[in-house]
Chains A and B, each alone.
Chain A
């Protein structure tokens, strides 16, 4: 793919685990290959321990691949960089900073100063609908609001690719659904490339252009989602036949992955 934003070529990861004075080698990723096109949303799905989070962490540069290479926007990944923004599983806001200061944190490290810094942070806080909560600290925010700040913080540095590690997994169903809708709206406007890790089947289908089903550290299947984009009203979409059909295809892929595992 010429417009490829992210490409994994033959990526493997082996962890050394010390159990009772014996070093065990755990193969977390086995020769993983996939590409993500520009402005595409790709979800990685699979049971826990399948390697989806490891793949995301290698893409972010928090972990290094044992073999193979990861390329983002034409550059090989070596450690973290401002071309990638990570949204953490539990938001991980800095508790001593206000919502605004949390968004400013990444921008400041990127080198932005003065009025531009504050205005940019405020703009992104507004984007996630939290302009009025700018001066609240994390303990004064609900779980959904925290994750909104987390998204604003990652988007503010204007990365090429937005990486999301089960960001809505800990939220209640209603909050999760409204955040899924907001994320799609933000993506429709910003055209960001998104790599999204989840274990939620509905979420994977709702958000993705393509779904990568993982099993035991390998890519089991890549499923193209033929739902219209923009997705429109997610409630209506959930009730549609196309959604149910895609969901069933992914479910089968996951299910066969489970069976082969046992």
Chain B
């Protein structure tokens, strides 16, 4: 018996079938509701606490308005941001190339890797007085502390990212006779961007903390200055103002880095299961 086959009529074109697009609650709405709910809770329970030991949103807002009106907050923010931006910017400019080189070179990895890993865990707070001794009490010491805190997560993430680049992608470059530098710039760097961006995001948080620490130790200036002055005067509501400003700032910077990432590496967010919003 030979095999038989029966033709089946082709299905009609599916172009007129309804298309359903899932309607989801947007992420920003969930985030907003979550923040409002948290502030509401804090306001409700915060009133029962002694104003020395705690505060609540409306009191903080009032203190914030006073600080803003008198220009103290704006001036402090500007002082802090200058140091932050210089230190943070330098950490990106130094950290990314250093991470790329360490990841690509067996020699540099063996020679410098141990310092990088060690320095990442360095208790920087202990070193600030020493840095003050070296650099004085001004802008330079603040920027350096921010740099030292922010640079290592960037180096380490970039380094790990380079190590994770598939060997076959490097071989694509080699098969077209690319030089080591060309492979680094045109294959390793783009392939490492998601790791670099993760490092740059981590560095925002660490940089902000570093800035405040530096201001505690050095001059009574900047947002850290307001925090320490208010705490010394038991003015808890006023102390919370720069804390909240810093949290908002760090969140905004993270969002900014995420936006940059979607611009320079659009394939990454589209390739992964979730979108970047």
Interface centre among A62, A85, A109 (most CB of B within 10 A): A109
Q: How far is the CB of A24 from chain B (nearest CB, A)?
A: 22
Q: Is the CB of A80 within 8 A of B271?
A: no
Q: Which of B38-46, B83-91, B168-176 contacts A (4 or more CB under 8 A)?
A: B168-176
Cβ–Cβ < 8 Å partners of B251 in chain A: none
In the bound complex, CA of A60 to CA of B174 (Å): 10
A243 at the interface (CB under 8 A from B): no
B249 at the interface (CB under 8 A from A): no
| Contacting residues of chain A (122-146) with chain B, CB-CB under 8 angstroms | 137, 139
Return the chain B residue nearest A154 by Cβ: B175
In the bound complex, CA of A95 to CA of B187 (Å): 10
In the bound complex, CA of A147 to CA of B270 (Å): 21
Cβ–Cβ < 8 Å partners of B191 in chain A: 94-96
| Contacting residues of chain A (81-120) with chain B, CB-CB under 8 angstroms | 81-82, 84-86, 88, 90, 92, 94-96, 105-106, 109-110
In the A-B complex, list the 4 residue pairs whose CB atoms are closest, starting with the nearest.
A106-B176, A109-B176, A86-B175, A96-B190
Given contacts A95-B271, A139-B267, contact A60 B169 (CB under 8 A): no
A157 at the interface (CB under 8 A from B): yes
Q: Is the CB of A109 within 8 A of B172?
A: no
Q: Which residues of A contact B (CB under 8 A)?
A: 60-62, 79-82, 84-86, 88, 90, 92, 94-96, 105-106, 109-110, 137, 139, 157
Q: Is the CB of A60 within 8 A of B175?
A: yes
User: What are 27 residue pairs bridging A and B, where the CB atoms are less than 8 Å apart in the complex?
Assistant: A61-B174, A62-B174, A62-B175, A80-B174, A80-B177, A81-B177, A84-B175, A85-B175, A88-B168, A88-B172, A90-B168, A92-B168, A92-B172, A94-B172, A94-B190, A94-B191, A95-B267, A95-B271, A96-B190, A96-B193, A96-B267, A105-B186, A106-B176, A110-B176, A137-B267, A139-B267, A139-B270
Sample of 12 more A-B contacts, CB < 8 Å, known A61-B174, A105-B172: A62-B175, A82-B177, A88-B168, A94-B172, A94-B190, A94-B191, A95-B191, A95-B267, A96-B190, A96-B193, A96-B267, A109-B173
Q: Name the interface size band of chain B.
A: 20 to 34
A157 touches which one: B168, B174, B176, B193 (CB < 8 A)? B176
Task: Report whether over half of chain B's contact residues are helix, strand or loop; otherwise say mixed.
Answer: helix
B182 at the interface (CB under 8 A from A): yes
Q: Is the CB of B182 within 8 A of A109?
A: yes
Q: Is the CB of B172 within 8 A of A62?
A: no
A94 touches which one: B169, B171, B174, B175 (CB < 8 A)? B169
B245 at the interface (CB under 8 A from A): no
In the bound complex, CA of A92 to CA of B182 (Å): 17
Q: Is the CB of A96 within 8 A of B265?
A: yes
Q: Is the CB of B267 within 8 A of A80?
A: no
| Contacting residues of chain B (251-277) with chain A, CB-CB under 8 angstroms | 265, 267, 270-271
Given contacts A94-B169, A109-B182, contact A139 B271 (CB under 8 A): yes
Q: How far is the CB of B270 from chain A (nearest CB, A)?
A: 7
Cβ–Cβ < 8 Å partners of B187 in chain A: 94
B178 at the interface (CB under 8 A from A): yes
In the bound complex, CA of A41 to CA of B174 (Å): 24
Q: Is the CB of B168 within 8 A of A80?
A: no
Cβ–Cβ < 8 Å partners of A105 in chain B: 172, 176, 186
In the bound complex, CA of A84 to CA of B186 (Å): 21
